[in-house]
Amino acid sequence: MSRSVQVIRENQSPSGAYPACPTFSAYAGYAWLRDGAFIAEGMSRAGEEASVTAFHEWCARVITARTAQVDDLISRRHGPLSPGEMLPTRFTLDGADGTDDWWDHQLDGYGTWLWQLAEHARRHSVEVPMEAVRVASRYLAAFWDSPCYDWWEEHVEQRHVATLGAVHAGLRAAVSLGVTDAEVKEAIGGIEALIAAEGVSAKGHLRKWLGSDEVDASLLACVAPFGLYAPDHPVAVATVAEVERQLAHEGGVYRYRADTFYGGGRWVLLAGFLGLNHAAAGRRDEASRYLEWMAAQALPNGDLPEQVSDVLLFPDRYDEWLQRWGTVATPLLWSHGMYLMLGAEL
């Protein structure tokens, strides 16, 4: 655990941002709210209060700086809006928008940030940046039902259940922090109703997106840690079981069955999510096996990668990504954050 804390602490920007990966060509110099929030949760659980508070101060500056943009978007919410007009999902380490093209309209990061902020405030009694909380919650309450890119920056035309789960968790967190807007409470109920009506397959598990019967490992977060469904709820039980059946292999977890990114390897951070779900359901032995697999993927210096390439879904697609962006992102700070989260849970 100490190596993961060290990797995250040493790579945290003086601005407070957690970079996704300091060396990977496509990630270097950028921070994501989603990645950062899960990194922060691991560090918060590890007792690294000052580091996490600095991250939230950075997030608050990033979000409040876009108050006017949120106001403008909400005023035009019933007209046509392109993905490029929405708030970005990643930022430079000093909080600016990126200058290169990216799949940049994702709602889940704002929900995940609110969720972690509430967790950190509960755990360490820190001051909450309420202005940023209100801006983020207003944005999510206005656009939660809109299509956007998923965790993996794909399928912008869909409404993804993992995204809805993150927004639901974030809006609940905003209410717990003192937000009283009726629109926020209405959005919470709307998400619950939509998922119940369209987000559960005939087999009883959550869907990758509305209208699809596929699963995606990101759905695990809807149970643990977001709590959309309790671990013993039939939908939660069916979702965890189906993700494990389709996507887990000898301790590692694939993103989804059609994944061709770097050939479709097993992701270290997703093993953490599956372990968290086992732990939440009281299956500590199963959870421990996933933690052990995560640790076994570390390089000799202790760095954890984004994914491992030993058992690929599409091995013929590996080289194209190697030539495009170089070797797999290492260290991935989100992998280290998930290792800390599962380790603390156990």
The catalytic residues are: 150, 153, 306
Exposure string of 28-48, with b = 16+ CB inside 10 Å and e = fewer, is ebbbbbbbbbbbbbbbbbbeb
Q: Judge whether 281 and 232 are in contact, CB under 8 Å.
A: yes
Give the torsion through C-alpha atoms of 16, 51, 166, 127, to 10 deg. Answer: -90
The answer to whether 273 touches 222, Cβ cutoff 8 Å, is: no
At 203, list the tokens. 């087999």
Round to whole Å and give the CA distance between 136 and 125.
Answer: 21
Helix axes 333-345, 284-296, angle to 10 degrees: 150
Work out the burial of residue 3: count CB atoms within 10 Å of its CB; fewer than 13 is exposed, 13-18 middle, 19 or more buried.
middle
Is the bond preceding residue 22 a cis peptide, omega within 30 degrees? no
Distance CA 150, CA 157 (A): 10
